[in-house]
Chain A
Amino acid sequence: MATYESATSRLARLLTMVPWLLNRQGIDLASAAAELGVSEAQVVDDLELLFVCGLPGHYPDDLIDARWEDGRVFVSNADTISRPLRLTRDEALALIVALRALADTPGLTQHDAIDRALAKLEAAAGESASTAAAVSVDLEQPLDPDLAASLRDALARARRVHLRYTVASRDETTERDVDPIRVVGVDGRWYLEGWCHRAEGVRLFRLDRVEELRVLDVDGTPPADLPPRELGAGVYRAAPEDLVVTLHLEPGSAWIAETVPVERVDRRDDGSLEVVLRVADPAWLRRLVWRQAGQVRVLAPAELVVGVGAGAAEAVAGHTQSGRLD
């Protein structure tokens, strides 16, 4: 395993692994490792450990029979631990919190299944279920039912879709054809991830900015072997050709460093930050800075400093003039 695993964490993992393997006699080592989320070497280590454990007495017949032969895994003689341990607090929390969030999300079609699954898990988790109420996720942004239905249809039949879409950074409406990969909810918003024929690359489209979506009668299978996209850092992704920008963030806007992929952060004594980030589109950055009421200052490159300041000055001037318009 990549990270250090304590003796007790490993025990908890083994107590889950044994019932799982008991029901999958002869599973091949590689699939077992993949589905158990560990390396093949770890599975072998685990089997070796199980092999020397068992009922008091520890005669051969008392011990767990754990073997791997010709790349296949067999576990038997482990009746006492043939059922998994009850869900732990965090396990129950993870499933129940996420299911409750799904249950409250309009636009998903499987609400009936969510409610049934939730009722069963809450019953099984007992006290952990009521504790889980203290943690909640409000996905907030509803998934538009018509849009969701069209996308589900396009995904199920591998059809291409045509979008009329607002590009926020340039604040303009574009038309494009997209081969859908998935619909994903990140940071409280829903996105369509797909192969965009206009950009010739994988792009994320915010569903609340889709003005119109048509399912086309054209094959929409995205190109094979697309690199899997990690959304762990949010939906932005930097590219080497992006503009390198240095920003000064006042403490009140320091959170920005958490939401965009910064390459470097220097913290000052007064709590302000200096961050370096890559920006694909200067228009996006201008809008970000304008929003922040002077809490964010562009330090470099110089032409962007000038552009941001001049745009804001023009906006202020426009307001003082428009007073005389009517």
Chain B
Amino acid sequence: MAKARPQSSEPKGPSPAAAKTERLLNLVIALLATRQPLSKARIREAVPDYRSGNDEAFERMFERDKDELRALGIPLRTEPVDPFFDDELGYRIDEREYALPQIDLAPDEVAVVGLAARAWSQASLAGPAAQALRKLDAAGLVRDEASVAGIEPLLHTREPAFEPVRDAVLSRTPISFDYRGAGGAGLTTRRLEPWGLTSWHGRWYVTGHDLDREAPRVFRLDRMVGLPRTSGRRGGFTVPADHDPTAMIRRTYGDDAETTTTVRLLVREGAASSLRRRATPADHPAPAGWDALGLDVHGVTSVVPEICAAGPDVRVVDPPEVRDAVVAALTAVVRAHGGSPR
């Protein structure tokens, strides 16, 4: 078949970036095509872009190109050109190391992998997820979309710190960052060996060993101010084998599942549906127009904001610590809005 150059309106040379992509692609093809390692001299002949310029320029360019290919995950091997004399080194890419092994996915498996990839469609890993799907689907897979029709989990990575923390966690690199504590606490600089990055209840958390407190700690990514900085070498620590990030986050931010308390409430008739749905009728006295309800909670901290949200439609009968916490929180709201409690 005759080669017809794609028609373009005017002849133009490639941009510097395009010339570089072209050079790298030619290099990859040359190194994949060879069984024997190619010496630098042969590489220089094989790739047109390397022929121009002097030896020194070629050396510099080739060193940089090698590093960039490895950074892309291309397994570039350095081996003696002649197995019996190791005085000259050559380079090649082993196709078996390079190529994605054939993965035979059944139609329903393709569908769930697609669902997994789409989960990132509006988040930081959207690009890699789509690219991974194209690689798996290179040969054209049969998919059974009906099995997942209509159900779509979506992941979010709105926190700017997501990418640097992800890199630090994956490469086990210590980081430091400015952190805004809870409850109006000021800004502190923290140093952390990050063990895990976890999305829990729609927020991203990093767990790890706090180097200043010398203890395990959990941090919310949305409370980091500015971007985290690396503050140590890659692979600089090991993660405890029994580390369970979700359990640690739940202990720090969630409810302590060990204890159950019943909060007795008065709820205005027809109001506070969301509290009402989790509550059960109780038998403490209630004035006309109010219902007596009991609400079982794990720990008491998380129920306070929920009760406060219902405002004047809910009253806490007991326990006193919940009642006092609700009164204190709502009194703070009154003060913030220029009033004083009646």
Docked Cα-Cα span, A84 to B98, in Å, equals: 8
Docked Cα-Cα span, A81 to B99, in Å, equals: 9
Q: Which of A279-313 contact B (CB under 8 A)?
A: 286-298, 305-306, 308-313
**Which residues does chain A contribute within 8 Å of B105, judged by CB atoms?**
117, 120
Q: How many residues of A contact B (CB 8 A)?
A: 145
A152→B149 contact, CB < 8 A: yes
**Which residues does chain A contribute within 8 Å of B213, judged by CB atoms?**
none
Name the contact of B117 in the complex, choosing from A16, A57, A94 (C-beta under 8 A).
Answer: A94
B289 interface residue (CB < 8 Å to A): no
**Which residues does chain A contribute within 8 Å of B113, judged by CB atoms?**
95, 99, 117, 121
B310→A171 contact, CB < 8 A: yes
**Which residues does chain A contribute within 8 Å of B61, judged by CB atoms?**
none
Flag the segment in A105-113, A195-203, A236-244 that touches B.
A105-113
B169→A135 contact, CB < 8 A: yes
B155→A98 contact, CB < 8 A: yes
Name the contact of A140 in the complex, choosing from B30, B182, B200, B285 (C-beta under 8 A).
Answer: B200
Docked Cα-Cα span, A257 to B337, in Å, equals: 20
Name the contact of A120 in the complex, choosing from B20, B103, B137, B305 (C-beta under 8 A).
Answer: B103
A98→B117 contact, CB < 8 A: yes
- With both beta carbons as reference points, the residue of chain B lying nearest to A58 in the complex is identified as B48
A15 interface residue (CB < 8 Å to B): yes
- With both beta carbons as reference points, the residue of chain A lying nearest to B245 in the complex is identified as A136
Q: Which of B266-303 contact A (CB under 8 A)?
A: 266, 270-274, 277, 284-285, 287
B216 interface residue (CB < 8 Å to A): no
A110→B100 contact, CB < 8 A: no
Residues A290 and B72 in contact in the complex (CB < 8 Å), given A87-B100, A121-B103: no
Q: Which of B171-197 contact A (CB under 8 A)?
A: 180-187, 195-197
B26→A53 contact, CB < 8 A: yes
A226 interface residue (CB < 8 Å to B): no
Docked Cα-Cα span, A250 to B197, in Å, equals: 26
**Which residues does chain A contribute within 8 Å of B137, judged by CB atoms?**
20
Binary A-proximity of B121-142 (CB < 8 A = 1, otherwise 0): 0110100111111110111100
Flag the segment in B1-9, B52-60, B81-89 that touches A.
B1-9
B117→A316 contact, CB < 8 A: no
**Which residues does chain A contribute within 8 Å of B239, judged by CB atoms?**
134
B166 interface residue (CB < 8 Å to A): yes
B338 to chain A, nearest CB (A): 6
B68 interface residue (CB < 8 Å to A): yes
A231→B122 contact, CB < 8 A: yes
Docked Cα-Cα span, A120 to B116, in Å, equals: 14
**Which residues does chain A contribute within 8 Å of B158, judged by CB atoms?**
233-234, 258
A166→B274 contact, CB < 8 A: yes
B26→A54 contact, CB < 8 A: yes
A189 interface residue (CB < 8 Å to B): yes
Name the contact of B150 in the complex, choosing from A116, A182, A309 (C-beta under 8 A).
Answer: A182
B331 to chain A, nearest CB (A): 6
A19 interface residue (CB < 8 Å to B): yes
Docked Cα-Cα span, A322 to B323, in Å, equals: 11
Residues A312 and B334 in contact in the complex (CB < 8 Å), given A56-B46, A171-B273: yes
Docked Cα-Cα span, A316 to B332, in Å, equals: 10
Residues A294 and B333 in contact in the complex (CB < 8 Å), given A98-B120, A182-B151, A184-B154: yes
B32→A80 contact, CB < 8 A: yes
**Which residues does chain A contribute within 8 Å of B112, judged by CB atoms?**
99, 102, 110, 113-114, 117
Interchain Cβ contacts within 8 Å, total number: 424
B116 to chain A, nearest CB (A): 4
Docked Cα-Cα span, A148 to B153, in Å, equals: 13
**Which residues does chain B contribute within 8 Å of A250, judged by CB atoms?**
184
B318 to chain A, nearest CB (A): 10
A225 interface residue (CB < 8 Å to B): no
A30 interface residue (CB < 8 Å to B): no
A180→B150 contact, CB < 8 A: yes
Residues A172 and B273 in contact in the complex (CB < 8 Å), given A85-B73, A251-B180: yes
**Which residues does chain A contribute within 8 Å of B103, judged by CB atoms?**
120-121, 124
A86 interface residue (CB < 8 Å to B): yes
- With both beta carbons as reference points, the residue of chain A lying nearest to B71 in the complex is identified as A8
A137→B155 contact, CB < 8 A: yes
B312 interface residue (CB < 8 Å to A): yes
Docked Cα-Cα span, A68 to B4, in Å, equals: 9
B109→A117 contact, CB < 8 A: yes
Residues A8 and B336 in contact in the complex (CB < 8 Å), given A189-B202, A293-B329: no
- With both beta carbons as reference points, the residue of chain A lying nearest to B8 in the complex is identified as A48
A254 interface residue (CB < 8 Å to B): yes
**Which residues does chain B contribute within 8 Å of A219, judged by CB atoms?**
none
B78 interface residue (CB < 8 Å to A): no
**Which residues does chain B contribute within 8 Å of A7, judged by CB atoms?**
17-18, 20-21, 24
Residues A134 and B196 in contact in the complex (CB < 8 Å), given A24-B140, A91-B128, A291-B308: yes
B residues lining the A interface (CB < 8 Å): 1, 3-6, 8, 14, 17-18, 20-22, 24-26, 28-30, 32-33, 42, 45-48, 68, 71-74, 95, 97-101, 103-106, 108-113, 115-117, 119-120, 122-123, 125, 128-135, 137-140, 146-156, 158-159, 166, 169-170, 180-187, 195-203, 220, 222-223, 225, 239, 245-246, 266, 270-274, 277, 284-285, 287, 305-306, 308-317, 323, 326-339, 341-342
List 20 contacting pairs A-B, 8 Å CB cutoff, sorted by A: A7-B17, A10-B18, A19-B139, A37-B130, A56-B30, A80-B33, A85-B135, A88-B131, A95-B117, A95-B129, A98-B117, A101-B153, A110-B108, A136-B198, A137-B199, A138-B199, A182-B150, A286-B311, A290-B308, A315-B326
| Given A99-B116, A171-B273, A325-B287, 16 further pairs, Cβ under 8 A | A7-B20, A8-B24, A11-B24, A14-B25, A37-B130, A48-B8, A49-B22, A51-B3, A87-B135, A94-B132, A102-B116, A113-B112, A140-B201, A151-B150, A184-B151, A309-B333
